[in-house]
Chains A and B, each alone.
Chain A
């Protein structure tokens, strides 16, 4: 062909466009989960959500995916989430003679990472997924999971936007920040009787979102937020922020963010001579926070989810400590443990063994079973879900407030 070289690319474009039209016309009947994989097959249409069935051949294992952060800075929180879920699987035993296998994938706490992890888990043929870890990632990945109607229960996405996606296959054992922020405001205003507050956030979806909610609720109660400061994740020297805070002299500093920044902030505040109170949320509810802050965390308040009435929480802590030799850390671990337990219970409830000894699970039934569950004595208390997948707070009390006393978190409410 004697066409000049310059035409090769538009030729390619035209060829591709043509092929694309053809492929899309017939290709859509071909589902994305396509070929047979060793462990499970997933048939079903991508378009509608109902009626999918997943079959696990006799002798194969039931795979459950764990989407959490393993490689970025948030891995500090992500790895214990994985470990707690693994613990739940280990304790559960098997279902109808089929062993349960975990498939942990790294979602990098980001949109693209969570999507990639989602697609990997789907093509690995998982029955359900515990995760993703971060709110932003969940918002992106729910489309992917929804296309295959995979049950997804998240232990740590707390932002309101996640349940506003309208995803029917999603639920979370984590508490909604909208609730937590409001409860924190009430506690500061009513119980501590403090009216002048300064908020600090870490500019993340979680931290900033929580502080926004807090501010709105607090102002509505009649208090004032004298200023809103921010710190950057990854930095450790907050001297300028601290100087600004001491100049402002609020009665209490309320912090939305995670352990590393929280510990650095509270320590530097103490060193600078700040004498007011400090309050953080579930992102710092971890012994690591106290350790990293040195003695500076003494007296700090920490808001967390409601306290379970039974001893199931302590039992969980003991089991985790025995298995991994480390403290269970933030609340997300018990949420993860509960999420996995709910998933396993739902599978047990819904799975049927057919004539050939294969296990069949109807996805829609699984989702309905999981979302309709009431888990009593979960590690984080009684778990129930609302219609949109959010955790039902009426099932538990108002959130628990701890205070750091003698170097440990002790409940005060």
Chain B
């Protein structure tokens, strides 16, 4: 029984990461109807931004020991900043020129960006994994057989916090409303006086900030960062976003946790080698009964 609780906690931790990345996918899809294949790489670059920051702290100061919460906070912001800057550049160079192009063109462009970033970082790090300095306090809470490390709690809490912040941002602020408007109907939003270009850039920025923060936290959790670390989570998060209904923010959150839990349980029940198969089979089943994902809206055929 306790093992199942442990597995559930495992699933929620991982699911939180997937959910945060999926939010980025879903936001961009909502306003641009485009799958940003390079989103996983934003996650990865954020992790590296955080790594170099912590590394600098480690080598030049001793703040990692004396003020770990400060250095971690700075690292997270650095990661977010890295991802945001990169996302803005990406949007400008690789996506904006393709806004009116056939749907598949930005997809290939995104794939190109993903390949470029991944291989560039591979060269940059000379294919070695970068090990994070140990900043986050080690240790765990133990209740019976259940063991939860502190950083895992931190990760879960941060994911939930970011999701809540994003939700509030989208629902309550003017910019968020603008994003929703542009996602609903771009031309009408323009007629209403919304600066569509700026809104789109801000959407990218929000998604990227989330991914970057998630990247730093995940890298601290796994204690290292590597050039290829964003590829698989990117695809999984895309799956999660689709499962929840792409374009829907609560859908992305739901999808992320659903996927995380399914991976966790199926590892125990069937074996880790098949967990991806299970995930995709579940996806197909969900989509058979609800072809727009769990929380998705009935889209018109342009999708």
Contacts and interface: CB of A to CB of B under 8 A. Distances in A.
Contacts of B7: 240, 243
B14 A237 contact: yes
Given A236-B222, A239-B10, A240-B263, A288 B268 contact: no
Max chain A C-beta neighbours (<10 A), residue from B127, B232, B268: B127
Nearest to A78: B127
Interface in A249-273: 259-260, 263-264, 267, 271-273
Interface stretch (A96-104, A136-144, A226-234): A226-234
Nearest to A231: B272
Contacts, number: 94
Contact of A203 (B140, B224, B231, B273): B273
A211 to B, nearest CB: 12
Interface string B120-159: 0010001111010010001010100101010000000000
A234 B228 contact: yes
Contacts of A231: 272
Contacts of B6: 243
State the majority secondary structure of interface residues on B.
Answer: helix
Given A71-B122, A234-B231, A243-B7, A229 B147 contact: no
A95 interface: no
A239 B267 CA distance: 10
A79 B127 contact: yes
Interface residues of B, number: 42
A247 interface: yes
A291 B131 CA distance: 8
B256 interface: no
B41 to A, nearest CB: 14
Given A75-B127, A231-B272, A292-B129, 11 more contacts: A78-B127, A229-B271, A230-B272, A234-B231, A234-B232, A237-B10, A237-B17, A240-B263, A240-B264, A240-B275, A260-B129
24 contacts: A71-B122, A73-B226, A76-B128, A76-B129, A78-B127, A203-B273, A230-B273, A231-B272, A232-B232, A234-B228, A234-B232, A237-B10, A237-B14, A243-B7, A243-B264, A244-B267, A246-B145, A247-B268, A260-B226, A264-B222, A271-B138, A292-B129, A292-B223, A294-B134
Interface of A: 71, 73, 75-76, 78-79, 203, 228-232, 234-241, 243-244, 246-247, 259-260, 263-264, 267, 271-273, 288, 291-292, 294
